[in-house]
């Protein structure tokens, strides 16, 4: 993110190869178009006061607004994770953009404010969503996130040891595989909430069981028991499938059958139906066999196994994590020519596990065990011009 002398807003996407120059309020307000590559930065700019309805001091035109601000803005995005991956890509990207804009405009938002404004941003996009993805990425490390019933959804974090993921004898047992299938969570969430408001007894009982299950996971992570942890991950997957029949399409079911005997547990993070498959192998030898199986033959020709390394790293900015893991694709060499097939995910950064209680109504919570990541913003070192705080 950097300033420009010309009073306009430039949005670029490296991964999508797209660019848009915004010169009017009307163009900036077009953030609710599904599939637009710049919906998130447009909505984030609106929440920062660059649209009159969100500004403390409205201006007649966007050009006037930017002149009062001190110049234009150029935002460059790089999301190396495909949409519909189940890793909370859009929520964490939105939180990253809001955090970067807060720093750039001198708004001084803390992590709680960024997380809450991300929830508002997703409502502006009409994609729905809760708070667990952005707080899972903004707050460092392995943790249990909880909220109380009601409209005030301020999460309380209880941090957990990372032994299961950092210990050398256990780190190799955690595997991540990109299935090549994508699915959005909007319709899934709407259907679950609909069942709750219709007082569907089966759904409500399942949500209560999921809440208790998250607390069981909290205890097991403190004990550092890999087998018990993996079996609870498997139970999470079974609960997800009971909650939504579309969680496990046939291609995913085929993949799961191939690795079932080698894993204590596995699941698709997020809404399910596609994206990444997280696996807990029984031991390092089983993990090696899984790698061989998945690299030799993908069930539908487009899957990619990712290699992740858990690292502890100091925070350098508000939107970065203290404990993260790097996942990279395992490149498959061709014997005919030495070309390699690149995975859709080139690099991911973030916490290996977060357990969150996502409030779906005033008295019930849905609990999900999921993998989340924090996309570190690329800071351009530039001279800061004298400017007012964000409009």
Q: Is 314 helix (H, G, I), strand (E, B) or coil?
A: coil
Given this model, what pLDDT does residue 153 score? 81
Q: What is the Cα–Cα distance from 6 to 386, expressed in whole angstroms? A: 15
The structure's pTM equals 0.74
pLDDT band at 308 (very low <50, low <70, confident <90, very high): low
Average pLDDT over residues 334-346: 33
Nearest one of 124, 238, 143, 123 to 132, comparing CA atoms = 143
For CA atoms 89, 36, 345, 1, the dihedral sign is negative
Q: What is the mean pLDDT of residues 170-181?
A: 90
One DSSP character per residue, 147-210 reads: --SSS----EEEE---HHHHSHHHHTTEEEEE-S----SHHHHHHHHHHHHTT-HHHHHHHHHH
Q: What percent of the chain has pLDDT over 70?
A: 73
Contacts of 12 (CB under 8 A, 6+ apart): 18, 19, 74, 75, 76, 77
Structure confidence at residue 354 as a pLDDT band (50, 70, 90): very low
What is the average pLDDT across 30-47? 89
73: β partners: 3, 9
What distance in Å separates the CA atoms of residue 374 and residue 255, rounded to the nearest whole number? 27
Mean pLDDT of the chain: 77
Query: What tokens were used for 192?
Result: 């679950």
- Asked whether the predicted pLDDT for residue 193 surpasses 50, the reply is yes
Q: Is 85 left (phi over 0), alpha (psi -120 to 50) or beta?
A: alpha
Please write the tens of the pLDDT for every residue from 45-92: 999 999 999 999 999 999 999 999 999 999 999 988 777 777 888 888
Which of these, 342, 322, 345, lies nearest to 269 by C-alpha position? 345
Please state, in angstroms and rounded to a whole number, the distance separating the CA atoms of residues 166 and 164.
6
Token look-up 């300033």 returns 3
Looking at residue 158, the DSSP 8-state letter turns out to be E
**What number is the average pLDDT over the span 327-352?**
31
Residues 144-148 have a mean pLDDT of 90
CA distances from 192 to 60, 123, 202, 204, 378 (A): 43, 17, 11, 10, 37
Higher pLDDT, 375 or 297: 297
Cα separation of the two ends of the chain: 17
> Per-residue confidence at 307, pLDDT binned at 50, 70, 90?
low
Q: Evaluate whether 163 touches 224 at the Cβ level (below 8 Å).
A: yes
Strands 340-341 and 332-333: antiparallel
- The number of angstroms, rounded, from the C-alpha of 295 to the middle of its chain's C-alpha atoms is 26
**According to the model, what pLDDT value does residue 275 have?**
85
What integer is the mean pLDDT of 128-137?
Answer: 80
Rounded distance between C-alpha atoms, residue 375 and residue 138, angstroms: 9
């Amino acid at each position: 993110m950097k300033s420009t002398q010309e009073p306009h807003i430039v949005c670029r996407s490296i991964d999508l190869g797209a660019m848009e120059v915004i010169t009017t309020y009307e163009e900036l307000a077009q953030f609710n178009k599904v599939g637009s590559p710049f919906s998130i930065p447009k909505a984030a700019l609106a929440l920062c006061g660059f649209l009159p309805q969100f500004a403390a001091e409205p201006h007649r035109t966007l050009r006037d607004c930017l002149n009062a601000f001190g110049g234009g803005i150029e935002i460059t995005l790089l999301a190396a994770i495909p949409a519909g991956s189940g890793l909370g890509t859009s929520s964490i990207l939105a939180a990253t953009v809001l955090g970067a804009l807060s720093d750039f405009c001198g708004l001084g938002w803390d992590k709680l404010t960024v997380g809450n404004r991300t929830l508002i941003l997703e409502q502006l996009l009409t994609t729905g969503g809760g708070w667990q993805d952005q707080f899972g990425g903004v707050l460092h490390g392995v943790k249990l996130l909880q909220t109380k019933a009601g409209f005030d959804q301020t999460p309380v974090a209880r941090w957990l040891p990372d032994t299961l993921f950092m210990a050398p004898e256990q780190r190799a047992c955690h595997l991540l595989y990109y299935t090549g299938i994508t699915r959005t969570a909007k319709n899934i969430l709407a259907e679950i909430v609909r069942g709750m408001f219709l007082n569907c007894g089966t759904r409500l009982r399942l949500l209560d069981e999921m809440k208790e299950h998250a607390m069981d996971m909290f205890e097991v992570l403190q004990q550092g028991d890999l087998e018990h942890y993996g079996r609870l991950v498997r139970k999470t997957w079974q609960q997800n499938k009971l909650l939504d029949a579309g969680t496990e399409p046939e291609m995913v079911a085929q993949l799961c059958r191939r690795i079932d005997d080698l894993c204590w547990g596995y699941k698709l993070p997020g809404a399910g139906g596609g994206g990444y498959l997280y696996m807990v192998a029984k031991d390092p030898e089983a993990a090696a066999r899984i790698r061989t199986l998945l690299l030799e033959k993908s069930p539908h020709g487009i899957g990619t196994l990712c290699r992740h390394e858990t690292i502890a790293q100091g925070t350098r900015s508000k939107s970065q994590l203290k404990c993260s893991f790097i996942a990279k694709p395992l490149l498959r060499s061709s014997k005919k020519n030495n070309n390699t097939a690149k995975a859709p995910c080139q690099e991911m950064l973030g916490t290996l596990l977060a357990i969150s209680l996502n409030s779906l109504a005033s008295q019930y919570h849905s609990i999900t065990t999921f993998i989340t990541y924090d996309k570190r913003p690329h800071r351009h070192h530039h001279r800061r011009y004298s400017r007012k705080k964000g409009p």
